[in-house]
Amino acid sequence: MQVIQLSDPHIDHRFPQKAAAFARAVAHVNTMPVLPDAVILTGDCTEHARADEYALFRDLLGALRVPVFLVPGNHDDRAALLELFPPPPTRLPDFMQYAVEDFPLRLIGLDTQRPGHGGGQLDRERLDWLEARLREAPERPTLLFMHHPPVRTGLDVMDGMDLRGREALCDLLLEHPQVLRVAAGHLHMNLTARFAHTTVMTCPGTDATLNPDLNRAAQLVVQRQPPMCLLHHWTPETGLNTFTQVIEPAPWHTLFDGQAWHDFERPNGAHHPH
């Protein structure tokens, strides 16, 4: 099973380049050699949660050729998303928090939105719902996805918008080894960290990847790099592996054809010395 993770498109009526970047991300998914089974989108769909921004976001997302499941970010309007993208039946009422039961890898989206704040929250109600879902399927491999990562980054401004309830989430996940990955967004950066028994990974935004200068924690000094997405790939034999993909048009090359290696410069030519 393959799941592509996109994050933080921030569709903005003032900056059409953000919509163009998200359109390229959708095209990237649609032109993969094998279409993924699903796309997860980890929040901040628009910048201001305006009706026109959501209308454009919905039109762009509608071009995807595979099912998409999303959760709100701190820039989103939960009620608007619930109306535009009704979640599956296994859901927590009044939240965009739900379980997707259709695939061999179980997908659980967590609603970490804390209205009026840049940071997120998993309160008792949301954590109790998650615990009940995990207890009912302890043998099913599971991927959690949400907007706010449950770890600190070492960057003051980002850690000031972190996730309340992360300690309780950590305690909960220690009891549920079937959770193979926690996939988040929010940072616009690619971060990998240990959390409970599992791994947290954050997905960059669809318009750029931010590379931070970690020596200046009190500031936010970044280098703008090409946009990326994550490919979460699960099989019974390998478990869950995650690959980083750059979102840009590029040809596919056969480096190994099953019998011999080939060079990028001469894809049909000389044998590679591996």
Q: Decide if 226 contacts 211 (C-beta within 8 A).
A: no
Strand partners, 211: 223
Q: Judge whether residue 133 has pLDDT over 80.
A: yes
User: For residue range 45-67, what is the model confidence (pLDDT) as tens digits?
Assistant: 999 999 999 999 999 999 999 99
Which tens digit of pLDDT belongs to each residue from 205-242?
999 999 999 999 999 899 999 999 999 999 999 999 99
Strands 228-235 vs 142-145: parallel, antiparallel or unpaired: unpaired
Quote the pLDDT of residue 254.
Answer: 84
Note the pLDDT of residue 271: 46
Looking at every residue in the chain, the average pLDDT score rounds to 94
Domain 2-246 has CATH 3.30.450.20: no
Higher pLDDT, 96 or 269: 96
Q: What Cα–Cα distance (Å) separates residue 214 from each residue in 115, 149, 159, 193, 222?
A: 29, 18, 13, 15, 9
Q: Is the pLDDT of residue 269 over 70?
A: no
Q: What is the pTM of this model?
A: 0.94
Percent of the chain with pLDDT over 70: 96
Stated as kind and residue range, the H or E segment containing 25 is helix 16-30
Task: Mark 31-61 as b/e (b = at least 16 C-beta within 10 Å).
Answer: eeeeebbbbbbbbbbbbbbeeebbebbeebb
Query: How is residue 213 written in tokens?
Result: 């200068």
